Structure 1
């Protein structure tokens, strides 16, 4: 897909592969996809994978994208019951402006109310109970994003995995994100930030990290 312009009422460039049991039974991942030189105006998401990704998605390369006024910029979404593995995704050279939601979003609670909301006035986040891992447990892993700018968003980066299945091996490099909030990360493993500048406009902490491990931010060197 190349040289396209989108102005739509839902997600714009959206990768799917079937929903829940039917998608897993079909077992055909969306793979080997090249997306380049596209512009998105109105949309729920600029570049999106999910939430119907139960057959999996892999080996996808997207570059030279512009998002203007999309609700969310780069969006990965799923929920318990979907299953499927999203991996080997490479995104680079993305410019965004006037994003009402998140510039970069990984969310495993799509269309589900947060089971453990923060207590008003507290920065502590209650522990969310894990559920057994089964064929309906989705996975996001091995995703690289580089050369990204965002001028205006609610949150620069939001990562929200499941307690039983962290979002894993995410690399974000060479990014400048101006947003109300900087970064919020919950249930992640192996997040690497290199040359990432967060410019929040609020007085909240620039980075909030909960129940996550194997973090690396450079400089200093990882």
Structure 2
């Protein structure tokens, strides 16, 4: 039984997965209230699924990139449970979780999360062996820079704000081959984190000690 936790941005998501079925999932957007909302939400999720914490055999957590405080809260709770019960903890990035939800597309995939101050964190992916694989590292930029970097058909998914919608609409008018994923596919869900983490555990169950899991941050020269 695997508990997945994602608080990397203002969006929070938790899920419970038994290797075959997604038993429970809760996803919501809040004003950075992870510190007060997360632990009670996890307790409610376990109670609804009638799964005591003693039945957990593994955990998974989103390690970023994302918001500094949100990441630390989610990672801290996941590490606390995993360490106390000596369970494996799988860390996965926001971009991996978003990519796991996307269908095959005749072109590239661009995953996006908000970075604040009008900036976004993006990563490109290509389809390889029945799944999306990252190409290069995640980068901080703005929407204008992202649109200018697109040199072929691109499927855009993740956190798209008003500036992003405007930039993508204008890009389409200019003939840039961008396709915005439907809203349901842009939502970063812990159910996909759980499934991907479970698959990793089946391949190498002993490779995920909790003390190795740390948040991932993307920094630039002007990062405070």
TM over 0.5: no
Hey, which of these two has a bigger chunk of helix by percent? Answer: 2
TM-score normalized with structure 1 length? 0.28
TM-score (norm 2): 0.28
Of structures 1 and 2, the one with the larger relative CO (CA 8 A, separation 6+) is 2
Tell which structure's C-alpha radius of gyration is larger.
2
